[in-house]
Amino acid sequence: MTEQALYRKWRPRTFDEVVGQEHVIHTLRHALSSGRIHHAYLFAGPRGTGKTTTARLLAKAVNCLAPEAERPCNRCSICQAVNEGRLLDLIEIDAASNTGVDDVRELRERVGFRPNEARYKVYVIDEVHMLSTSAFNALLKTLEEPPPHAIFVLATTEAHKIPATVISRCQRFNFRRLPLDAIVARLERIVEQEHIQAEREALIAIARQATGSMRDAESLLDQLVSYSAGRLTAAEVHAVLGIGSSEAVCQVVEALVRGDAAQGLSVINTAVEEGVDPRQFACQIVDHLRALLLVQLKSGIIPPYVTEEMLPRLEKQAASSSPRVLVQAVKLFNRAATDAKSSWQPQLPLEMAFVEALLPPEIEAGPTPQPASQRQTRPVSSPPSPSAHPASRPPAPAVVREAEAGYRASSVAPERLQECWPEFLNALRPRNLSLEALMRSCRPLAVEGDVVVLGFDYDFHRGKVEEERNKRDVEDVLSNLLGWRCRIRCVLRQKGQAEQTPITHHQPQPAQAEPPTPTPSSDQEHADDPLIRTAIEDLGAQIIG
């Protein structure tokens, strides 16, 4: 006889055994005791959080033969039939493999028949969001006029895919991811009852890997118990799951705090060579950095996986780093966890995140900003003045934030805006294709404080870009590209201005010889027509042929 999986063997059989969903259990118990049983329920939440288990407990409780206070009793014939999976009046349907309208029509035909042996027929439809639109419409009719002996429980991991008309006919319960300490406590109870020796750090690693899913945690425990020779150790868990040791994570963060690039890169490469999954390692580093940030900000929050032995080391690391560095590192390693999935070199995203986290911030403070009347426009093509460096003038405390923005804007490299313009257009394209086409007709001309001046050839294009939504999209993409928050100002370029020459409002233009009078042509004659000239200037029209 095959051994029963732990997640099935230890499935909760009473409401008291359900972990982490107290808000759901309390409401259902109150409804049972008061006799206010609803005809349809919607259980929504992540996988492995107890949706189907709670549906079965509800089916037992409404049909249990024991007194109300004892339901479900797990002693009567109904409860035992549910536990053994042989109650005919508990119908479980997998919507992922029964998505068609014919399947729901068959259900509607059978729902009218009275229960065989229980008080209610309970229909549990798992992954209900997989039903087709026509199937939902067919189900809706039954939910609107259900027979008194039928109860529907719809379970889903993606409630947003269910039509609002169906949701409105159900009582909705949102199941939450289970906290790590609750999962660990449950695993400790299981290993004790199963007479399995396991280190607590190993159970913590399993619980962290499960990301809030009790079923995943129990399945991982089952797998690791089969792997282990006798005692389940943290080292075995790390080896099987590709998780880096806590020591390796601490060494990476300590190297980051000290600014020791060689040590940090060495630890990362050693961990990957030993079989650690780069994505898992990046996630572990993010968790550790988050814990550092919480300790540093004196939030009073200590993550459950931080042991008493680890806490002094954590506090020492927190005292040696700044919130800005930690926040930046969290962002970088969080991105590395995603990039590692598609990288041809597994450790490369981790290495890049580590090195980039070591780079000094762009600015710690900025110069005292000048009044608007005295502020000069800095052309894109002219280099920033050395005197603009923050070390040259200490800022007033009340204007540090504004000064920092002003310095970042004024310190744009001369060629930066021109060189990154194709990159800006590429970044804008997936966000707004038509806007990207409009922006191809303009060029960055200058920077005025935190305002980027954009020059357009045609007034029609300029007006469209200045519309609120389009302007916001341009500012968001441009700010993300430059690394500081900027605004835009749209202007018409001067007649005859060269394609790449920026506007310089505060520098006199050198005198130029008067160009020779061109010989009149048919194109020029057409352009003199007021209607054609308006189409050219305002709509971007061109004369062809």
What is the enclosing helix (H) or strand (E) of 447?
Answer: strand 442-448
Peptide bond into 72 cis (omega under 30): yes
Task: Please name the residues in contact with 442: beta carbons below 8 A apart, sequence gap of 6 or more.
Answer: 454, 455, 456, 457, 461, 462, 465, 490
Three-state DSSP class for 214?
Answer: helix
| Assigned CATH class of 246-358 | mainly alpha
Q: For 434-481, what is each residue's pLDDT tens digit?
A: 888 888 888 888 888 788 888 888 888 888 899 888 898 898 888 888
Is residue 254 a contact partner of residue 310, using CB atoms and an 8 Å limit? no
- Angstrom distance (rounded) from CA 540 to CA 239: 64
The pair of three-digit structure tokens given for residue 382, joined into one six-digit string: 């002219």
Task: Please name the residues in contact with 445: beta carbons below 8 A apart, sequence gap of 6 or more.
Answer: 379, 380, 453, 454, 455, 491, 493, 502, 503
The pair of three-digit structure tokens given for residue 505, joined into one six-digit string: 């409002």
> Which one-letter amino acid corresponds to residue 94?
D
User: Cβ of 469: how many Cβ atoms within 10 Å?
Assistant: 9
Domain ranges (residues) in the chain: 6-174, 180-241, 246-358
The per-residue pLDDT for 66 is 92
Q: How far apart are the first and last CA of the chain?
A: 87
pTM score of the predicted model: 0.61
Arithmetic mean of pLDDT, 187-208: 92
Q: Whose structure tokens read 């806007």? A: 435
Which range (34-48, 261-275, 291-305, 363-377) has the least confidence?
363-377
CA dihedral 389, 395, 399, 400 (to 10 degrees): 60
Q: For 223-272, what is each residue's pLDDT tens digit?
A: 998 887 768 998 888 888 888 888 899 999 999 998 899 999 999 999 98
Between 102 and 122, name the one with better pLDDT.
122
Backbone angles phi, psi at 79, to 5 degrees: -60, -45
Across 167-176, 234-243, 489-498, which has the greatest mean pLDDT? 167-176
Query: Does the domain made of 6-174 have the CATH classification 3.40.50.300?
Result: yes
CATH number of 180-241: 1.10.8.60
Which range (194-198, 427-431, 440-444, 539-543) has the least confidence?
539-543
The pair of three-digit structure tokens given for residue 531, joined into one six-digit string: 């209607």
> Which one-letter amino acid corresponds to residue 472?
R
Q: Which long-range contacts (CB under 8 A, 24 or more apart) does 80-84 make?
A: 81/117, 82/56, 83/13
Arithmetic mean of pLDDT, 365-378: 44
The per-residue pLDDT for 192 is 94
Q: Whose structure tokens read 């002003």? A: 406
Is residue 214 a contact partner of residue 20, using CB atoms and an 8 Å limit? yes
Of the pLDDT bands very low, low, confident and very high (cuts 50, 70, 90), residue 198 is very high
- Angstrom distance (rounded) from CA 414 to CA 384: 8
- Angstrom distance (rounded) from CA 434 to CA 454: 17
- Return the DSSP state at 274: T
Task: Please name the residues in contact with 124: beta carbons below 8 A apart, sequence gap of 6 or more.
Answer: 52, 55, 56, 59, 90, 91, 92, 93, 153, 155
Please compute Rg for the chain using Cα positions. Answer: 33
Q: For 330-343, what is each residue's pLDDT tens digit?
A: 999 999 988 876 66
Is residue 53 a contact partner of residue 184, using CB atoms and an 8 Å limit? no
Which range (272-286, 287-301, 307-321, 497-511) has the least confidence?
497-511
The pair of three-digit structure tokens given for residue 264, joined into one six-digit string: 């940090």
- Angstrom distance (rounded) from CA 154 to CA 531: 65
Three-state DSSP class for 92?
Answer: strand
Residue 411, pLDDT > 70, answer no
Alpha helices in 228-344 (DSSP H): 234-241, 246-258, 261-273, 278-296, 311-319, 323-339
